[in-house]
Structure 1
Amino acid sequence: MTDNLSAILYKKQDLRLEQRPIPTPKDDEVLLKIHSVGICGSDVHYWADGQVADFVVKAPMVLGHESSGVVESVGKKVTHLKPGDRVAIEPGVPCRTCKFCKNGRYNLCADVVFCATPPWNGNLCRYYTHAADFCYKLPDNMTLEEGALLEPLSVGVHACRRAGVTLGSKVLVTGAGPIGLVSMMAARALGATKVIMIDLVKSRLEVAKQLGADHVVHVTKTTSKEEAAAKILDALGEQPDKVIECSGAQASIRIALEVTESAGVIALVGHGEHDINISIADAACREVEVRGVFRYVNEYPLSLAMVASGKVDVKKLITHRFKLEDTLEAYETARTGAGGAIKVVINCVKQ
């Protein structure tokens, strides 16, 4: 056991495959033989731009945070996992002692160690150590690929929970990328009666329809917020009471504010420009709530249950598979969307 091939980002557009030492787990950690790692939009931005928002790559960093693996060994304090267990890896490990952690909002912990977020290494490699209590054992009817996709699904579940999606909700999802799609699937699993999606790309909307969206609406860069709202109302038959905004685009946020039902909720998932010009007077008068969404918190168990029960089929999101040795090609596919790429997954097991 000496091969720990790792995908290391040195700087903008400088991604290298190199060997690194196999780490030793601490008392409360497990050593994992990584199996599947999905490529997230943030991974692509780190590679292409060298940063995501205020997180800047200043030193070599192993990429990857949507992952699953098999337990190779355990620290002496770990009792709930054993070698051979297949697990999904929740990539953010908080301090556990600050007020946010103690209040159950550990995703807001200022000292969270999050995979592949500078300065912390990710797990696009053969072997990786992680806090045992943030590893979730997979049931026999779930694959390791499905385990890796619990990460983006947890984002969608958290977004829906922040928006208050429940039985009978009428949900609009803006943006039909991977996070928009898992948000739509999560909304359906949580009981939403109607789910409608909008996007600029027709092919993505076709996928959304196949995955369970009741209605889809194609908009263009020249579509006004009033025109978009009219299309949504025509398709849905009524105003949505919950909106999951996954694009981060100013135009989409304006559409959300225009179309949301009075007393409804808009959950902002997509992170776009820092400064966005929107008018909130009408929304304020109608008591429309706008809520932020950051990663997820206590969502992995529910996401796992959704997949294990068959309520959500994340396998349908996977369009491309690559070996670890072909990481550069995998990232280019994810960046360009070549071949209709939605979710690109890398297999890290030595072939």
Structure 2
Amino acid sequence: MKAGRYYGPGDIRIDNIPDPVPKPGQVKVKVTQALCGSDLHAYLTNAPVYATNEPHELTGETRPVTLGHEFAGTIVDVGPGVDTIKWAPGMNVVIEPIFSCMKEDCLPCSNGTRNICPQIAPIGMSGWGGGLAEYITVDLQYVHVLPKGVSLEVGACIEPLSVAYHAVKRSGFTPGQTVLIIGAGPIGLFLLKVIRSIDPSSIVIVSEPATIRREFALEHGAARVINPATEQVPIAVKNTVGPGVHLAFDAAGVQASLDACVDSLRLRGTYVNVAVWEAKSTLDVNLILGKELNFTGSLSYDRVHEEVIKLVAEGKITGIEKLITSKIALDDVVKDGFECLLNEKEKHG
């Protein structure tokens, strides 16, 4: 089969590799894949969770590994011992890619927060196959059935939607609170959709330099959009909501977004970092002290896929398919996927 494999930063190749064979307790899935901002980080730099030339602690794999952790697909085969009624070939499924050490003495794994295990490792980054391939075999504990009426394309978006859902839960958002989202890429737009599923009328402001992403934000429920290239975000926010926002989500992960979030928060507001940073930041701690701000991070998710799938199936989160700007063949994933998303942000949401 064909697979998009990661050899190192800037080096992703389409290789022909053997089809995977399902082991006991596994299913074989024909893949529908979505490209993620985290994969773009791998394309640009050495992100810590991606495989290296040293064997990974959990998977034992080294580069090259198959990329892709946001994906859905159709079961085409099952391994020995798998219940073929519950997991029948032809079923559409979503893969929850996060796994961790699951050791008894690991506090995060033992208390239900495996997403912050020191050894967190996603499928499609650290090994065990990935979504940028024609097929993958996956342990059943990471597989969720897609309800009828939910397409595979939408299913491929469940993983980033889960990232946003977890971040909103971490924020403590309640109906009526005002919100700033900086960065209207996939995660920023999914943050907006999750918030709108909870409260259709809260004031949500989105800051984003790319025109098409600002347009998407307005279409999907933003009360106001800001172009940070032409407006000062904190001033625009306070002109809209007076004392500042209750919550600020940083989905951009740069110094300017951090500063804008902190300056835009009202007293005792909450900053939530959702972005993966490529560089170190500086922080005015006295400003946090003086405003008594809450400051937190949100990393991936931990077993919320079922909740998110239910929200989508029940129609509480809608319009996801409208955020899919193009479909490309696996052979073209580097040129028309990675390079296009990096260089043509004005064309893609």
- For the criterion TM > 0.5, the same-fold answer is yes
Query: Is the Cα contact below 8 Å between 1:107 and 1:295 reproduced in 2?
Result: yes
Give secondary structure in 1 for the equivalent of 2:267: coil
SS at match of 1:33: strand
Sequence identity of aligned pairs in percent?
29
How far apart in 2 are the matches of 1:102 and 1:74?
30
Question: How many matched pairs?
Answer: 333
SS in 2 for 1:51: coil
Shift of 1:23: 1.8
> Could you say if the C-alpha distance between residues 50 and 273 of structure 1 is closer, same or farther in structure 2, counting changes exceeding 3 Å?
closer
Aligned to 2:60: none
Change (3 A) 1:308 1:287: same
For 2:70, the equivalent position in structure 1 comes to: 66
Q: Is 2:220 the counterpart of 1:211?
A: yes
**CA RMSD in angstroms, aligned pairs only:** 2.1
**Could you say which residue in structure 2 is the equivalent of 1:159?**
167
1:269 corresponds in structure 2 to 274
How many Å separate the matches in 1 of 2:285 and 2:278? Answer: 17
Q: Deviations over 1:129-186 (max 9, x none)?
A: 1121211101111000100000111111111111111222211101111111111111
Q: 2:158: which partner in 1?
A: 150
User: Is the 8 Å Cα contact of residues 215 and 236 (structure 1) preserved in structure 2?
Assistant: no
Q: How does 1:1-351 map to 2 (within 5 A)?
A: 4-34=1-31, 36-47=32-43, 49-52=44-47, 55=50, 57-58=52-53, 59-79=63-83, 80-97=86-103, 98-118=106-126, 121-191=129-199, 193-220=202-229, 227-312=232-317, 313-328=319-334, 329-337=336-344, 340-342=347-349
Q: How many Å apart are 1:231 and its aligned residue? A: 0.8
* DSSP 3-state at the match of 1:15: strand
Structure 1: gaps (5+ residues): 343-351
Distance 1:85 1:114, change over 3 A: same
Deviation above 6 Å: which 4+ runs of structure 1? none
Q: Following the alignment from structure 1 to structure 2, what is the Cα–Cα distance between the partners of residues 265 and 199?
A: 20
TM-score norm. by structure 2 comes to 0.88
Cα deviations across residues 16-58 of structure 1 (Å, max 9, x unaligned)?
2222112222322211111x111112212323x2522574643
Q: 1:166 to 1:29 in 2, by over 3 A?
A: farther
Q: TM-score, normalised by structure 1?
A: 0.88
